[in-house]
Amino acid sequence: MAAILIVDDDHHLRRSFDKLLTQDGHTVKTASSGEAALPLARSGEFDLIIMDVRLPGMDGLRTFKAIREIEPLLPVIIMTAFGTTETAIEATKMGAFDYMLKPFNIPEMLSLIEKAVEAGRFMRSRVELDPVPETDSGEAIIGRSRVMQEVYKAIGRSASTDATVLIRGESGTGKELVARALYQHSARSRKPFLVINCVAIPETLLESELFGYEKGAFTGAVNRRVGRIEQADGGTVFLDEIGDMPFGIQAKILRLLQERSIQRLGAREPSPVDVRIIAATNRNLEAALSEGKFREDLYYRLKVVTISLPPLLEREGDIPLLCEYFIRRYSKKMGVPDPGITAEAVEMLCAYSWPGNVRELANALQKALIFNRGGPVSIEDIARVSGIAPDRTAEKADLPEETIRAWIRGYLSSHEGGLSMFDSAMEQFSAMLITEALNLNGGNRSRAAKMLGLSRPTLMAKIEKHRIRFETSAISEE
Ligand SMILES: Nc1ncnc2c1ncn2[C@@H]1O[C@H](COP(=O)(O)OP(=O)(O)OP(=O)(O)O)[C@@H](O)[C@H]1O
Ligand SMILES: [Mg+2]
């Protein structure tokens, strides 16, 4: 729950807000003027400020600007009556989270408050890269596998630039976490970070949410609306699930990237904006291209800097570290001592295939912790709540095709793509094929050649070329 500061000169309103929000589980403090609000804002104890646009003395806009100077990442919601909407809109243009028009619709207001608090936490809670410092209170990207080291390097290389970054990876691999890490390690970390989830917002609203509109742009546009991109001016916009972005809007994003400007719906002129774009998707964009669902020009523009998150299955050695991390984190959150986890449970988790990746692991451990009745988290605790059981892991191991696919995915994501990718992967694969044929035939090259349908000289040439080493049994050589 959040700590909220209400700034309004009307004491009735302060009182009713206090009551309503306290009931909703928040901690509330109030101030009756801008002057009184500033020292409170400076204290750093709040997650959100809700302020009236009309204040005695220092007016709303000046108060807002002063708060912005003190705490640039603290979300502010502006309250306004019909007559003062222009000022409220001005404030959103300067980065206020949103405004609410009196009289308030309570459920809408509560949901807006929740969104604002979450957005603020997103900006301020730091994401560290592994290894976690001892005093870890924030979040971290855990993992020391070779593939994750590559991810950290890529974050390090691109964070401080203003380059557009495309983050790719299956669901639950940590794309959002990486987006936040990029933002926090960037030169724009004191400026806003706005998240737009392109699937969560209905297509009809997405365009106005992103770009805003002029008064009268369409029926129902009674006021000008500042779009999220303009609101984040100077900062970073995270376009999550960009692979699902409607085709028509993609053109506008392309234009933003090329011309650094946006055009509100119904506006005559484009307005310049300075935002850095970070995008993420779990979609196969190449397939979307060939189906005509994703614009090729936008695709090329986005993919210049790509960070690919490997599936959890390929992060060798990371599962034990993640287990430790999540159990520590969740037990702390639940206010119970860290129980640890048994070696057998870790072993079972290491053998599982994790189609839902890190999110699935985190959820399984969180649930197991709830069921844990003292002692380290055990196989039984996990099996009871998640359907991950030792027998299921055995079943997985019997799926050779999945193992091959996993190898291919690992190969593709850990090698530079490009012209020779296909050939070098095939070379590597044929080397493995030959090695295994040799092993199955006790090192007998004639028999291996026959098995593979190759002539013996061809096989010999390949063995030479790939410098294949194999075991020969004493009696097998011809
Ligand atoms: N390497 C990691 N270390 C610690 N926590 C992680 C790691 N990767 C992911 N997580 C956690 O797992 C959960 C899922 O991660 P996140 O939301 O970033 O995934 P995503 O790739 O955006 O997934 P989706 O495509 O489903 O949106 C989050 O709670 C996140 O904090
Ligand atoms: Mg995500």
Written as six digits, the tokens of 26 are 């928040």
What is the model's pLDDT at position 478? 41
pLDDT greater than 60 at residue 339: yes
Overall average pLDDT of the 138-144 stretch: 88
Nearest CA to ligand 1 atom 23: 172
Residue 477 banded pLDDT, cuts 50, 70, 90: very low
**Of 100, 124, 148, which residue constitutes the final position of a domain?**
124
User: Which of 167, 170, 173, 322 is the best mutation target for the ligand 1 pocket, counting ligand atoms within 8 Å of the beta carbon and taking the most?
Assistant: 173
- Residue 70 shares a structural domain with residue 115: yes
Overall average pLDDT of the 242-251 stretch: 94
Domain count of the fold of the chain: 4
Relative to the alpha carbon of 325, which ligand is closest? Answer: 1
What is the model's pLDDT at position 132? 62
- CATH number of the domain residue 254 falls in: 3.40.50.300
**Of 124, 158, 187, which residue constitutes the final position of a domain?**
124
Position 325 in a domain: yes
Nearest CA to ligand 1 atom 13: 359
Tens of pLDDT along 426-457? Answer: 888 888 888 888 878 878 888 888 889 888 88
Tens of pLDDT along 144-191? Answer: 999 999 999 999 999 889 999 999 999 999 999 999 999 999 999 999
What is the model's pLDDT at position 441? 80
Relative to the alpha carbon of 129, which ligand is closest? Answer: 1
According to DSSP, residue 162 is labeled: -
What is the model's pLDDT at position 396? 47
Q: Determine how many CB atoms are found less than 10 A away from the CB of residue 425.
A: 15
- CATH number of the domain residue 85 falls in: 3.40.50.2300
- CATH number of the domain residue 440 falls in: 1.10.10.60
pLDDT greater than 50 at residue 392: no
Give distance in angstroms: CA of 171 to centre of ligand 1.
8
- Residue 155 shares a structural domain with residue 252: yes
Cβ neighbours of residue 208 closer than 8 Å, sequence gap 6 or more = 225, 227, 265
Position 354 in a domain: yes
Sequence-separated contacts (24+) of 320-325 with Cβ below 8 Å: 320/346, 320/350, 321/130, 321/142, 321/143, 321/144, 322/142, 322/143, 322/358, 322/361, 322/362, 323/349, 323/361, 323/365, 325/132, 325/140, 325/142
Nearest CA to ligand 1 atom 25: 171
- Residue 303 shares a structural domain with residue 200: yes
Tens of pLDDT along 123-134? Answer: 888 888 876 655
Helix (H) or strand (E) holding 253: helix 247-259
Nearest CA to ligand 1 atom 8: 174
What is the model's pLDDT at position 21? 95
Which atom of ligand 1 is nearest to 173's Cα? 21
What is the model's pLDDT at position 448? 86
Position 78 in a domain: yes
What is the model's pLDDT at position 401? 65
Which atom of ligand 1 is nearest to 361's Cα? 12
**What sign does the dihedral 158-160-164-165 (CA atoms) show?**
positive
Written as six digits, the tokens of 252 are 């506008």
Position 478 in a domain: no
- Residue 291 shares a structural domain with residue 304: yes
**Inter-residue contact 315 to 143 (CB < 8 Å):** yes
**In angstroms, what CA-CA distances link 468 with 295, 341, 434, 443?**
45, 42, 8, 11
Give distance in angstroms: CA of 181 to centre of ligand 1.
12
Q: Per DSSP, what are the bridge partners of residue 240?
A: 197
pLDDT greater than 60 at residue 397: no
Residue 12 banded pLDDT, cuts 50, 70, 90: very high
Give distance in angstroms: CA of 174 to centre of ligand 1.
3
Burial label for 375, CB within 10 Å (0-12, 13-18, 19+), is exposed
What is the model's pLDDT at position 422? 84
Tens of pLDDT along 249-304? Answer: 999 999 999 999 999 999 999 999 999 999 999 999 999 999 999 999 999 999 98
- Residue 48 shares a structural domain with residue 147: no
What is the model's pLDDT at position 305? 94
Residue 139 banded pLDDT, cuts 50, 70, 90: confident
Q: Per DSSP, what are the bridge partners of residue 272?
A: 261
Written as six digits, the tokens of 99 are 């405004």
What is the model's pLDDT at position 393? 45
**Of 293, 309, 325, which residue constitutes the final position of a domain?**
309
Asked which of 124-128, 346-350, 387-391, 411-415 is least confident by mean pLDDT, the reply is 387-391
- Residue 190 shares a structural domain with residue 262: yes
Q: What domain range includes position 317?
A: 312-397
- Residue 115 shares a structural domain with residue 160: no
Relative to the alpha carbon of 175, which ligand is closest? Answer: 1
Relative to the alpha carbon of 140, which ligand is closest? Answer: 1
Which atom of ligand 1 is nearest to 362's Cα? 12
- Residue 275 shares a structural domain with residue 147: yes
Overall average pLDDT of the 17-21 stretch: 95
The residue that leads in pLDDT, 318 or 428, is: 318
What is the model's pLDDT at position 68? 93
Q: Locate the DSSP E strands across 242-330.
A: 261-262, 271-272, 276-281, 306-309
- Residue 154 shares a structural domain with residue 264: yes
- CATH number of the domain residue 318 falls in: 1.10.8.60
Position 408 in a domain: no
Overall average pLDDT of the 57-86 stretch: 92
Position 96 in a domain: yes
Mean pLDDT, the chain, as a whole number? 88
Give distance in angstroms: CA of 195 to centre of ligand 1.
15
Position 471 in a domain: no
pLDDT greater than 90 at residue 309: yes
Cβ neighbours of residue 394 closer than 8 Å, sequence gap 6 or more = none
Residue 430 CA, distance from chain mean position? 37
Residue 377 banded pLDDT, cuts 50, 70, 90: very high
What is the spatial distance between Cα 198 and Cα 239, in angstroms, rounded to a whole number? Answer: 7
- Residue 178 shares a structural domain with residue 253: yes
- Residue 297 shares a structural domain with residue 329: no
Strand order in the sheet with 48-52: 27-31, 3-7, 48-52, 76-80, 98-101
Which atom of ligand 1 is nearest to 177's Cα? 18
Burial label for 19, CB within 10 Å (0-12, 13-18, 19+), is exposed
Relative to the alpha carbon of 326, which ligand is closest? Answer: 1
Position 339 in a domain: yes
Give distance in angstroms: CA of 78 to centre of ligand 1.
32
- Which protein residues touch ligand 1 with a CB less than 6 Å away? 139, 141-143, 169, 171-177, 282, 358-359, 362
**b/e per residue, 286-313, with b = 16+ CB within 10 A?**
eebeeeebbbeebbebbeebebbbbbbb
What is the model's pLDDT at position 237? 96
Give distance in angstroms: CA of 307 to centre of ligand 1.
14
Which atom of ligand 1 is nearest to 325's Cα? 4
- Residue 151 shares a structural domain with residue 296: yes
User: Which of 166, 359, 361, 367 is the best mutation target for the ligand 1 pocket, counting ligand atoms within 8 Å of the beta carbon and taking the most?
Assistant: 359
Give distance in angstroms: CA of 167 to centre of ligand 1.
12
Give distance in angstroms: CA of 171 to centre of ligand 2.
7
- State what percent of residues in the chain have pLDDT above 70: 93
